[in-house]
Chains A and B, each alone.
Chain A
Amino acid sequence: MFLSPIQMHIPDGFLSVPVALILWAISVIVVGYALRRANRDLGERQVPLMGVLAAAIFAGQMLNFSVTGGTSGHLLGAALATILLGPWAAVLVMTTVVGVQALIFQDGGLLALGGNLFNMAVIGVSVSYTVFHTIRKLAGNRRRAVFLGGFAAAWLSIVVASLAAAIELAASGTSPANIAIPSMGGIHMLIGLGEGLITLGALTFSQASRPDLLQAGSTRTVRGGLVWVFGLGIALLLAIASPLASAHPDGLEWVAEQKGFLDAAKGPVFKIIPDYAMPGISNSAAATILAGVLGTLLVFGLALTIAYLRRQRHSAS
């Protein structure tokens, strides 16, 4: 029943111990900081709200709509939680959701929980926050910007989180980078559309019935510098990943070397992994889209930098 619709919860055994420990360390630092912020900034009213919203997100992951054939669109909820609650509370909500999924429903491993927290609570929330607020800022707080920002935040949070998962698998030596990154990224570009559409629908509904909630959530902001650091960190992560994907010596090239023909060897490998392959889209096309995502992220980083510098100048003058 609660079997994750999104192949992003890494089970135990798939991450090497060093990778798992590094991801644990990052997640513990971020969650610890979020807890401190929650204790300091958020009212006591927020505690039951976070707990109940975590339950709602968990249950909300059962919601789906049929797309075509047997496939369906689902909700992960990181973007929606970020938009409604602000980033720090959203980190705690997603931590609770992912933690219970691992502990009770074996959806993702316990040693791998550090990695899953990193992908869904840290990356998912920070990407959502960065994208949503950049778009709102650029569009000058117009009403349509909420919807556009919500959709983009939801889509990109799924895609970047899946890329992070692929990089972690590659770094653990579990899955070759040049297969894991394009296939995980590619399939989640489609899955992310479902997330984006559901988030959009939820925001439209909230805007129509309780516009005050949307306003309250989006005013809880983070200092500009921190957003900038997050944006840069993610952009760097991807920048490291893409040469890894193309220049990794082991992997398909080695198969091709063995046999002497690169193109013939590429197709069949993708047919062997139907769960992660994208029918109709070749490796190079997926890589091109990937490059597009990278470019988008870099542009976001640039936009943030400009906004930051401009604000510095404003406050100086």
Chain B
Amino acid sequence: MHVHFLDPYRPRSSPIHRLDGRVKFVLILAFILTAALLPAGAWAPYGALFGLILLVEFLSALGMGYVLKRSALAFPFVLAALPVIFTAKGSIVAHLPFGLVVSEVGLERFASIALKSWLSVQAAVVLAASTQFPDLLVAMRAVRLPRLLVMLFGLMWRYLFVFADEVMRLTRARSARSGQSDLPNAKTGGSVAWRAHVTGGMAGNLFLRAFERSDRIYMAMLARGYDGEVRTLPLPAIRRVHWLVFIAGLAILVLLLILGFLF
């Protein structure tokens, strides 16, 4: 069984997919930074950002359902911001049982945090679903990330699926040997400490396989002329249309930011 379904890239032929990875990478980062910089309660610019990301999602032909489903993954963390509703000082909107009071400032701050978070996750989902990993590596090089780090990212991505397969094999072997009950909450396979020990053994096994595989990879790299130096092809030029998209995108974001602070 192969776990290519893990790769969030969705091949489509859309303008968003065709947009240069470097432009997309920087614009998405700028979008997230804009959302973060906007003050709490700047609803009009938030709405504009929402419209912008909806437009991008529509253009990307990924399907709204897909983006919404994936962006819901970050939702549980909103709970961490929930207490802010009750603890911020300000005019009181409502009294709840147990002596809790909801303040206007708290409500506004909570809604802003949740909305900003949701907008940012949607942007990140679009980036990951419309850009292939090698293009992201090119983007990382374009923003001058150290070569060694980019190479580590590349190596990791190359072997992530191999090791995800290994983990699934290990897990299957464990379930085959320790027996599982269909009943929920039924104890399987010994005490908690024993189960933890078995899982630890699996982790150790996985790491040993990683060590051994890295030896083989090193030999293969040596055979192909590796001498410790990271060499890469020169980056291709960015087409003029993409430059225009880049400048227009940045201009819109800066405009929204100024609007957010003025009103």
Contacts and interface: CB of A to CB of B under 8 A. Distances in A.
Contacts of B64: none
A268 interface: yes
A252 B197 CA distance: 41
Given A55-B163, A109-B32, A204-B204, A12 B116 contact: yes
B77 A60 contact: no
Interface string B107-133: 001000111111111001101100001
A309 interface: no
B70 A106 contact: yes
A171 to B, nearest CB: 13
A265 B99 contact: yes
Contacts of A17: 33, 36-37
B82 interface: yes
B73 A106 contact: yes
Contacts, number: 314
Contacts of B188: 66
Given A13-B114, A14-B77, A63 B100 contact: no
Contacts of B35: 12-13
A289 interface: no
A109 B87 contact: no
Interface in A36-63: 38-39, 43-45, 47-56, 58-60, 62-63
B259 interface: no
Given A66-B188, A198-B199, A204-B200, A106 B156 contact: no
A65 to B, nearest CB: 4
Given A55-B162, A198-B199, A13 B156 contact: no
Interface stretch (A97-105, A129-137, A234-242, A290-298): A97-105
A97 B156 contact: yes
A197 B201 CA distance: 10
A265 B119 CA distance: 34
B71 interface: yes
B99 A106 contact: no
A92 B44 CA distance: 41
B193 interface: yes
Interface in A81-119: 84, 92-93, 95-97, 99-100, 102-107, 109-111
A250 B87 contact: yes
Interface residues of A, number: 101
Given A13-B113, A20-B36, A73-B196, A202 B203 contact: yes
Interface string A298-315: 000000000000000000
B100 A268 contact: yes
A7 interface: yes
Interface string A194-218: 1001111111111001100100000
Interface stretch (B12-20, B221-229, B242-250): B221-229
A47 B148 CA distance: 8
The 4 closest A-B pairs by CB, nearest first: A201-B200, A51-B155, A205-B204, A13-B117
20 contacts: A47-B230, A49-B211, A54-B152, A55-B158, A55-B160, A55-B162, A56-B166, A56-B207, A67-B192, A96-B149, A103-B124, A109-B74, A110-B28, A197-B199, A204-B204, A206-B204, A210-B211, A251-B87, A264-B99, A268-B100
Interface of B: 6, 8, 28-29, 32-33, 35-37, 70-71, 73-74, 76-77, 79-84, 86-89, 97-101, 109, 113-121, 124-125, 127-128, 133, 136, 146, 148-149, 151-160, 162-164, 166-168, 170-171, 185, 188, 192-193, 195-211, 213-214, 217-218, 221, 226-228, 230
Given A12-B124, A106-B124, 17 more contacts: A12-B35, A12-B36, A13-B117, A48-B217, A51-B214, A62-B164, A92-B149, A96-B149, A96-B152, A106-B70, A106-B71, A109-B120, A176-B83, A197-B193, A206-B207, A273-B83, A275-B76
